[in-house]
Amino acid sequence: MSESTVRARVVKATVSPETKQIHKDDFEGLYGADILTPPYNLTELKLMGEYSSILQQCIDAYKTNIVGFGIESEYKLDINSDEVEKRVREKAETENTRLGEFIRYLNLDESPELILGYVLDDREKTGNGYIEIIRNGVGLPVGIEYVDAQYMRVCKKTEAVQVAYNILEYGVEKKVTRSKRFRRYVQMIDQEKVYFKEYGDPRIMNAKTGKFEDDTPENLIATEIYHFKIGSDTYGKPRWLGNLISLYGARKAEELNLMYFTNGRHIPAAITVSNGQLDDASYEALQGYMDDLSGTNNAHKFLLLEVQGMATETALNGEEKVTPAKVEIKSLAEVLQQDALFLEYDENTRQKIRSSFRLPPLYTGESQDFSRATADTARKVTEEQVFQPERKTLARILNTLFLEPLEFSYVKLSIKGADFHDPVEIAKVLGPFIQANAVAPNDLRPLLSQVLGKKVDLFPDEYNLPIQAAQSQPSSFGELIGITKSEEQQENLIDLMKDMRDVLESMQS
C-alpha cells in the first residue's frame, strides 16, 4: 500500500535587507583627561529629526514662535513722557539707532533670527546649542556664527581667574571683581581640532593647542563660545529624551508597513494539489506571476497550471493506475492586512512627543478637532506657558552678551512674538469707553489703520477731544479747546466726529 505524500511550496517575493547605521564618535579615545564624554551619541540625536514623523514639526514650531517673528530694539523707558529730559530722550534715540544697526549686521551672511533658529534646532535635538561670538579690534562683541553641536565637546573647568563686572548699586554704576572658573570647548571635523574659550574668559588662548598663552599669534587666538543647553548638567539633554524608545518603536512600525507595501502583499491564496504535483513549467509560471509586484504585467492574462497525476497502485499486467489530480485555489483574503499596522501606537507616540514639548496639535499641522474658540485658547495658553518664557530667557541672554559690553543704557534687545490682537474684537468693547468720554479720536486711529490696512494720520491736537463731549456740547466747543472758532469750522468738526462715530459703529457690527 502506497503512502500519501504532502508537498508544499511557498512562492514569495524578495525582501530587502534591513538598513543598519553606525554613528561613529570622532572623539573616541580622547575622552577622560580633559574632554568630557557626552551622555548620548550627539550625531544620533541630531539625526532623530530625520527618522521621526513628529519630532521635526515640534522643533520647527519652537523655532518659528520663539525667534521667527524678528528681533528689534526696544526703549527701556517711555521717551514720549514729559518726565523724560530732552538730553536723555536724544541719547535714547541715538542708542536705538545704533542698536538697530547692530542687530542688522550681527551676522553679515544671514539674519540673526536664522542663526538663532539653527541654534534652537540643535538645542531641541541634542540638548545643546552653540554660537561663536566675534569681537572687533578693541575687544567688543560685534557678531555671531552658528556652530554645529554634533561636532562640539565640553572640556573640564580651568583654574579660577579674576573677572571684572559692572553692576548698579542704588542706581549708581559700580565695578566689582569676582573669581570664576571657565570652561574650554573643542570642535573636531575631519580629525582636525579647534579649541574655543567660554564667553567672558579674559585670558588669551591658543585655538590650536587649547593652552592659555599670552604670546599666541594673532591668527591663532581662540574666539569665544556661548553654550545654550537644556538642564544644569555639563551637557544638555533633549526634552523628549524620555520618549526615545517610543520614537524608535514608531520608526520600526513604519518600516514594517513599508515592507508590506513594498512586497505587495502576504500570501493571498493557497493553491492545493491533490494526487499530483505541478510540473516545472507551471511552477515557473506561478513564480513569474508572484514576482510581478505591481500586477500590471500580468493584467488580463490567464494563469494555466498543468498538474501531473500520481500513481496509486499497479495492475497485474504492470500498468500503473493514475488517479486524476485535483487542483483547488483557496482564498486567504480574510487574513490579509487591510490597512497599516500599529496606527494607534503611532498616534500615541505623536501625543507623547507633543506633550514633551507642551505643544497642542494645532502647532504641528493637526487641527481637525479644533474650533476657533479652542484654537484661540490653545494658542494663548501655549504662548503664555511655553513661547513667551523662552523668548524672555533668550532675550535676557542676548542682552547680557552684547548690551552690557557695548554700554547701552536706554535700549535693549527684544524678541517679538505673535500678535494675538483682533481689531474687530477690540472694537466691540470700545462702546462703554466712548460713552464715558474716555476715548479721543487719536486713541483709535492706530486701530483704524489695522482695520483698513493702510496708514491713517493722527488729528491735530486741537481736534483730539473725547467724541461724546464734542458732540454733546457743540456750542461750547470753542471754549473746550481754548480758542475761538467760526460757526462753519465748528460744524465741520462736528461732521468729522460723526464720521468717526460711524466708523466705530461699523467696526463693532
DSSP string for 86-131:
HHHHHHHHHHHHHHHHHHHTSSSSS-HHHHHHHHHHHHHHHSEEEE
Average pLDDT rounded to a whole number, residues 301-322? 67
Judge whether 112 and 225 are in contact, CB under 8 Å. no
pLDDT above 90: residue 392: yes
Nearest to 360 by CA among 345, 337, 376: 376
pLDDT for 12 equals 47
Average pLDDT rounded to a whole number, residues 176-201? 93
pLDDT above 60: residue 421: yes
pLDDT for 20 equals 47
Average pLDDT rounded to a whole number, residues 226-232? 95
Mean pLDDT lowest for which of 79-83, 362-366, 447-451, 478-482? 478-482
Q: What is the pLDDT of residues 313-347, one digit of tens each?
A: 665 566 667 677 787 877 766 656 666 678 888 88
pLDDT band for position 6 (cuts 50, 70, 90)? very low
pLDDT band for position 279 (cuts 50, 70, 90)? confident
pLDDT above 50: residue 19: no
Backbone Cα Rg of the chain: 37
Average pLDDT rounded to a whole number, residues 247-260? 86
Higher pLDDT, 509 or 55: 55
Angle between helices 112-126 and 55-67 (to 10 degrees): 140
Pull the grid cell for residue 21.
547605521
pLDDT for 478 equals 47
Average pLDDT rounded to a whole number, residues 258-286? 73
Mean pLDDT lowest for which of 103-107, 186-190, 212-216, 376-380? 376-380
- 3-class SS shares of the chain: helix, strand, coil, % to 5: 40, 20, 40
What does the mean pLDDT of the chain come to?
81
Judge whether 471 and 498 are in contact, CB under 8 Å. yes
Mean pLDDT lowest for which of 213-217, 232-236, 280-284, 378-382? 280-284
pLDDT for 188 equals 93
Q: What is the pLDDT of residues 45-57, one digit of tens each?
A: 999 988 898 999 9
pLDDT for 481 equals 46
pLDDT for 1 equals 43
pTM: 0.73
